[in-house]
């Protein structure tokens, strides 16, 4: 009976190693497709690719965009 158990444990260990190898292969393939390091899930990421932007940063970008559009409208009037 112990020989059967040992055999099953060995098969389990080899299957586990094969799964780890497959996971590593999948991660490498995803890395090659995305061109980015593997992302970890955290509260600071949106869709796993970009960190969230603070309200202050969004406001700053909004003001810069509004200034660009105002400048463009002013140039178009000339």
**Cα–Cα distances in Å, from 62 out to 16, 57, 73?**
51, 9, 16
pLDDT for the residue 33: 85
3-state secondary structure of 40: coil
> Which pLDDT band, with edges at 50, 70 and 90, does 65 fall under?
very high
Residue 72 clears pLDDT 60, i.e. is over it: yes
7-63 pLDDT tens trace: 999 999 999 999 999 999 998 888 888 875 555 554 544 556 777 889 999 999 999
Sign of CA dihedral 21, 22, 27, 28: positive
CB 8 within 8 A of CB 14: no
CB 39 within 8 A of CB 49: yes
3-state secondary structure of 46: strand
pLDDT for the residue 51: 78
């Amino acid at each position: 009976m112990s020989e059967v158990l040992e055999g099953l444990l060995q098969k389990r260990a080899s299957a586990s190693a094969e799964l780890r190898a497959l996971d590593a292969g999948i991660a490498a393939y995803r890395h090659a497709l995305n061109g980015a390091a593997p992302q970890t899930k955290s509260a600071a990421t949106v869709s796993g690719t970009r960190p969230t932007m603070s309200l202050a940063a969004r406001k700053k970008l909004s003001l810069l965009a509004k200034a660009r559009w105002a400048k463009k409208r002013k140039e178009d009037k000339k």
